């Protein structure tokens, strides 16, 4: 028998910026699809107009473009099951609502929000289900004529699923195994609202997964409680149920409770892929992109939050991840969001990139600081300092002295490193350096060191004062790498200035 082609989807609701946990869910779907040469679909679930936020869909698409997570079908790329935005599929759903109603598997309910509210005060833990539905205003308790009149006079109604009590419903989950839930704990969820003619999430989700031939539903653990209802809906329609996989939650870095935006604010890390400006409040939330993360690092970091390849290999690019990924290796328990590890990944990916690639990114920061050096110089500087940074922006802090001569000297360093004899020794050094023709690292180092040795000077003292003159403080890479990059003229200028200033 021909094996069914794997088709998975990421189905966000455009209610704001995409949480990093959503990005992880999408990534796992992507890896799974690629691994099985399947299709990955982006479906926008926007049937809840109350929660719709303008710009959210565009944000989602931009985030995936940045991360290199691509889709075979979706709102932005089209496909054979278009449209992929649920609000544009309105006409599709009604017949499925009618089908359930006609089969007696759903009913119409007219209860007003006030009636529901008073029930809630009357009955503790009120739930609209088999135990209460016969005391409510719905098509099960009204005469056909009354139902017809109400609908014709435009009284708003909802359609609810009719769930029989005391039945064990089994959800087969690829990560969790069999999850069995008794139907008595489920309520008769609303599937459709006449007020806007739109289905709710549950119905639209099932109908679309079926029509779009989704084979595996891979989503966050927060949807596990909805899965039994979904299993019932598949059964009511007589459709095959897709395979389910509910991914573990992302937990706070401390490990207690779900990761939230507040944790990011509190500890200083982003929880969104891109920066987001809330259209209502104008509040801006930081994003991984704007914070200086490389997309490859974010992908690698997220991939290992809730899954691992079964060995201790950590640095894996997206192709290697695809090769190794399996849902069976996903963990059941939540994954602590170790944002420091994210920084570590960024550090690693910076080291893996060529100096040229990093230099290109660093150029933008240099321009912001009004320096315009040659690409050759920037590449050399990057090569010297990149191992000291986790983020491209930190390169400036580590290397600004290569581009701007010190105008002041750090007081503490001066007090500690500038000796009474420093001025005269550096003046002598000036004379030595002036005569060197080949100013490359090793040559300069050899000449300077043999001069120091011949004179019996203290190597450390001279090098410290020299560094202070070139850098303005005591930091920086190997001193003769600095002289090599600065070049003779600049080194001499800086020496002269320090001697004059510090005396």
Whichever of 221 and 481 has its CB closer to ligand GLU, that residue is 221
Q: Which of 13, 200, 291, 422 binds ligand GLU (CB under 6 A)?
A: 13
Can residue 45 be called a binding residue for ligand GLU (CB under 6 A)? yes
Enter the tokens of residue 33: 């699809």
Strand order in the sheet with 73-74: 73-74, 39-42, 7-10, 216-220, 243-247, 168-173, 177-182
Query: Rounded to the nearest whole angstrom, what is the least distance from the CB of residue 259 to ligand GLU in the complex?
Result: 15
Helix boundaries (H) for 36-89: 56-67
- Footprint of ligand GLU on 259-298 (CB under 6 A): none
- Footprint of ligand GLU on 316-375 (CB under 6 A): none
Residue 251, strand partner residues: 258, 336
Judged by CB under 6 A, the stretch of 9-17, 343-351, 460-468, 484-492 that binds ligand GLU is 9-17
Q: How far is CA 5 from the centre of its chain?
A: 28
- Footprint of ligand GLU on 203-222 (CB under 6 A): 205, 219
Output Rg (C-alpha) for the chain, integer angstroms. 32
Q: Per-residue x/- marks for ligand GLU, 453-482, CB under 6 A?
A: ------------------------------
Query: Rounded to the nearest whole angstrom, what is the least distance from the CB of residue 106 to ligand GLU in the complex?
Result: 20
Can residue 56 be called a binding residue for ligand GLU (CB under 6 A)? no
Whichever of 11 and 324 has its CB closer to ligand GLU, that residue is 11
Can residue 234 be called a binding residue for ligand GLU (CB under 6 A)? no
Of 179, 242, 173, the C-alpha closest to 207 is 242
Tell me which H or E stretch contains 79.
Answer: none
Task: Say how many residues touch ligand GLU, by CB under 6 A.
Answer: 8
Judged by CB under 6 A, the stretch of 8-16, 71-79, 147-155, 244-252 that binds ligand GLU is 8-16
CA-based end-to-end distance of the chain: 88
Query: Rounded to the nearest whole angstrom, what is the least distance from the CB of residue 205 to ligand GLU in the complex?
Result: 5
Q: Which of 8, 11, 198, 433 binds ligand GLU (CB under 6 A)?
A: 11
Judged by CB under 6 A, the stretch of 6-14, 192-200, 231-239, 310-318 that binds ligand GLU is 6-14
Judged by CB under 6 A, the stretch of 10-18, 108-116, 127-135, 296-304 that binds ligand GLU is 10-18
- Footprint of ligand GLU on 168-207 (CB under 6 A): 201, 205
Of 399, 309, 382, 297, the C-alpha closest to 340 is 297
Q: Which of 6, 7, 8, 12 binds ligand GLU (CB under 6 A)?
A: 12
Whichever of 200 and 300 has its CB closer to ligand GLU, that residue is 200
Whichever of 42 and 294 has its CB closer to ligand GLU, that residue is 42
Count of C-beta atoms within a 10 Å radius of residue 414 = 19
Whichever of 221 and 379 has its CB closer to ligand GLU, that residue is 221
Annotated catalytic residue within 261, 353, 360, 497 = 261
Judged by CB under 6 A, the stretch of 5-13, 247-255, 291-299, 379-387 that binds ligand GLU is 5-13
- Residue 387 vs residues 384, 391, 392: alpha-carbon distances, Å: 8, 10, 11
Query: Rounded to the nearest whole angstrom, what is the least distance from the CB of residue 260 to ligand GLU in the complex?
Result: 16
Residue 285, strand partner residues: 276
Of 163, 110, 185, the C-alpha closest to 141 is 110
Q: Is 80 a catalytic residue?
A: no
Half-sphere exposure of 301 (CA within 13 A, CB side): 27
Judged by CB under 6 A, the stretch of 11-19, 110-118, 147-155, 398-406 that binds ligand GLU is 11-19
Q: Buried b / exposed e across 385-412, counting CB within 10 Å, b at 16+?
A: bbeebbebebbbebbbbbbebbeebbee
- Backbone φ and ψ for 64, nearest 5 degrees, come out as -70, -35
Whichever of 45 and 129 has its CB closer to ligand GLU, that residue is 45
d(CA 107, CA 191): 10
DSSP three-state, residue 110: coil
Q: Tokens 């490193």 — which residue? A: 417
d(CA 255, CA 335): 8
Of 317, 393, 392, 326, the C-alpha closest to 357 is 392
Whichever of 220 and 264 has its CB closer to ligand GLU, that residue is 220
Whichever of 161 and 297 has its CB closer to ligand GLU, that residue is 161
- Overall size of the chain counted in residues: 503
Residue 276, strand partner residues: 285
Whichever of 227 and 491 has its CB closer to ligand GLU, that residue is 227
Pairing mode, if any, of strands 7-10 and 168-173?
unpaired
Enter the tokens of residue 446: 């050899």
Contact set with ligand GLU (CB under 6 A): 11-13, 45, 201, 205, 219, 223
Give catalytic residues, as residue numbers. Answer: 261
């Amino acid at each position: 028998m021909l094996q069914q082609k794997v088709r998975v989807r990421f189905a966000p609701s455009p209610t704001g910026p995409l949480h990093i946990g959503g990005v992880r869910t999408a990534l796992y779907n992507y890896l799974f699809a690629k691994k099985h040469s399947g299709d990955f679909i982006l479906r926008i679930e926007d049937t809840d107009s109350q929660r719709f936020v303008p710009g959210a869909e565009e944000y989602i698409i931009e985030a995936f473009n940045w991360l290199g997570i691509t889709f075979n079908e979706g709102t932005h790329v089209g496909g054979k099951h278009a449209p992929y935005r649920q609000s544009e599929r309105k006409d599709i759903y009604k017949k499925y609502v009618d089908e359930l109603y006609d089969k007696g598997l759903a009913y119409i309910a007219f209860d007003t929000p006030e009636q529901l509210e008073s029930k809630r005060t009357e009955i503790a833990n009120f739930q609209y289900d088999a135990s209460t539905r016969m005391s409510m205003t719905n098509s099960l308790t009204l005469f056909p004529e009354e139902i017809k009149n109400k609908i014709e006079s435009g009284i708003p109604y909802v359609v609810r699923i009719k769930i029989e009590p005391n039945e064990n419903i089994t959800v087969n989950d690829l990560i969790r195994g069999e999850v069995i839930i008794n139907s008595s704990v489920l309520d008769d969820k609303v599937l459709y609202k006449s007020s806007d003619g739109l289905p709710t999430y549950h119905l639209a989700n099932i109908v679309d997964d079926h029509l779009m031939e989704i084979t595996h539903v891979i989503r966050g653990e927060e949807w596990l409680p909805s899965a039994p209802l979904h299993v019932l809906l598949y059964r009511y329609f007589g459709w095959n149920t897709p395979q389910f996989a509910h991914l573990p939650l992302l937990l706070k870095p401390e490990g207690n409770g779900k990761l939230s935006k507040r944790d990011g604010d509190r500890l200083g890390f982003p929880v969104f892929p891109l920066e987001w400006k809330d259209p209502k409040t104008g509040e801006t939330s930081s994003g991984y992109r704007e914070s200086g993360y490389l997309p490859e690092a974010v992908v690698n970091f997220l991939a290992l939050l809730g899954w691992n390849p079964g060995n201790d290999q950590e640095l894996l690019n997206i192709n290697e991840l695809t090769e190794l990924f399996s849902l069976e290796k996903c963990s059941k328990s939540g994954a602590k969001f170790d944002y420091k590890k994210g920084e570590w990944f960024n550090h690693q990916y910076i080291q893996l990139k060529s100096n040229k690639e990093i230099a290109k990114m660093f150029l933008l920061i240099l321009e912001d600081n009004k320096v315009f050096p040659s690409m050759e110089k920037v590449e050399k500087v990057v090569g010297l300092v990149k191992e000291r940074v986790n983020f491209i922006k930190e390169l400036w802090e580590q290397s600004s002295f290569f581009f701007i001569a010190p105008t002041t000297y750090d007081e503490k360093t001066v007090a500690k490193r500038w000796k009474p004899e420093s001025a005269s020794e550096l003046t002598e050094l000036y004379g030595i350096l002036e005569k060197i023709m080949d100013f490359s690292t090793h040559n300069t180092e050899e000449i300077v060191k043999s001069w120091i040795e011949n004179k019996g000077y203290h190597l450390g003292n001279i090098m410290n004062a020299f560094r202070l003159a070139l850098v303005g403080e005591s930091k920086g890479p190997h001193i003769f790498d600095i002289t090599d990059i600065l070049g003779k003229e600049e080194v001499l200028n800086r020496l002269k200035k320090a001697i004059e200033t510090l005396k």
